[in-house]
A and B are shown apart, each in its own frame.
Chain A
């Protein structure tokens, strides 16, 4: 990497940090799996959802760029009494907007949304989604019943989107008090033929908001690649010219409208890159067409799996793009995906990657 970004790489065995000179430090938060990380620009705070194999899940934070990490007296995220439910892991950490400087959202497994009002020190269950009548019929996907995507409208923080495997997309217009399913056009491949477009229950893998048009969203489904131009109200198939419409992550370019990136895998039971070649596919026309980005990526005997949160952008211009694999490699691009280089090898399986811009 040549830019002023500190890369946070969550793995099954702790958190690693990679600086601009490709120096790797870690593991931090040893003894835990780290499936979610975030950098809260408002507080210059790193946040990590850490699950001890033995002792449960906490949201840890660091205010010194990863040198030291908080450890709350008791786990700081847990289901309240009466729910008779326990957290398996934290799938997603999303700081809210500038208008709510101390609000942080966390999506967990089993699917639920938590909110912090103190910048990630403590969390409380958001009852609105928990009480949704659909919840009892959501089913776990292969990775578990996780709420893995939280998007907040940059124009209005009361408008939120969450995605659940397997529940689908849900929207809120009131800051998360009430929710409605919004999966029109999204396929549920695993349902009987006459029930493949249900109101909810789709196995949505990831949703990303367009960098230039807040009403536009890109969605990678469990078979299916979609775009919405109305804030998630409806979805159109954009799997045009990709080797597979199966995959996990989708990343939108932070500035260029209509530009997004995916890493297609063959299928659910063949979770590796098609043709055993590691290719990032890029669209610059909102999904009308896709082109493979291969320069610097392994193109022979590459059975690569990239999980839904293991692909990210640093938000800079041109966009820095980074992804980690279950094989422990981390790749980076400084030029909107045209060229890639290896920044780490032989890490534990990578679960999530986020960039912390230091400028």
Chain B
């Protein structure tokens, strides 16, 4: 039981890749490293990222905390809108890469 609790409390590092258009809101960084619980999801990654770089998160997600329609979010190579379509509930693990990308569109 104690070991299980310890496992739930362990932290993992996730890398968020910021698109060029949003790097001004991430101190110019292309990569931002985020420490989250190993039980975390993309939602948790964004909540953690929001504390440091709210300008990135609030442009990737709208005010209802939903990915904007023309922003893609890939987790370890797969769109969170594809496959199981777990969206922001897609789980992450140690070493996960989260990519924020403008979609193939432009108005």
Interface residues of A (CB under 8 A from B): 12-13, 31, 33, 52-56, 71, 73-75, 78-81, 84-87
CB pair A53 B63 closer than 8 Å: no
Chain B residues in 8 Å Cβ range of A78 = 58, 62-63
CB pair B24 A71 closer than 8 Å: yes
Given contacts A55-B71, A73-B25, contact A33 B107 (CB under 8 A): yes
CB pair B103 A54 closer than 8 Å: yes
CB pair B66 A54 closer than 8 Å: no
Smallest CB gap from A75: residue in B: B58
CB pair A74 B55 closer than 8 Å: yes
Can you pick out 7 interface pairs between chain A and chain B where the beta carbons lie within 8 Å of each other? Answer: A13-B107, A53-B105, A54-B70, A55-B59, A78-B62, A86-B63, A87-B62
Interface centre among A33, A54, A55, A84 (most CB of B within 10 A): A54
A81–B25 alpha-carbon span in the complex (Å)? 22
Given contacts A55-B22, A71-B24, contact A84 B64 (CB under 8 A): yes
Chain B residues in 8 Å Cβ range of A80 = 63
Given contacts A74-B55, A75-B59, contact A55 B68 (CB under 8 A): yes
Decide if B91 is an interface residue (CB 8 Å cutoff). no
CB pair B63 A79 closer than 8 Å: yes
6 smallest CB-CB distances across A and B, nearest first, come from: A55-B59, A53-B107, A86-B62, A78-B63, A74-B58, A54-B102
CB pair A31 B63 closer than 8 Å: no
Chain B residues in 8 Å Cβ range of A73 = 25, 54-55
Decide if B21 is an interface residue (CB 8 Å cutoff). yes
CB pair B21 A87 closer than 8 Å: no
CB pair B66 A12 closer than 8 Å: no
CB pair B54 A85 closer than 8 Å: no
State the Cβ distance, B43 to closest chain A Cβ, in Å. Answer: 15
A55–B70 alpha-carbon span in the complex (Å)? 8
State the Cβ distance, A69 to closest chain B Cβ, in Å. Answer: 13
CB pair B21 A55 closer than 8 Å: yes
Decide if B83 is an interface residue (CB 8 Å cutoff). no
Chain B residues in 8 Å Cβ range of A85 = 63-64
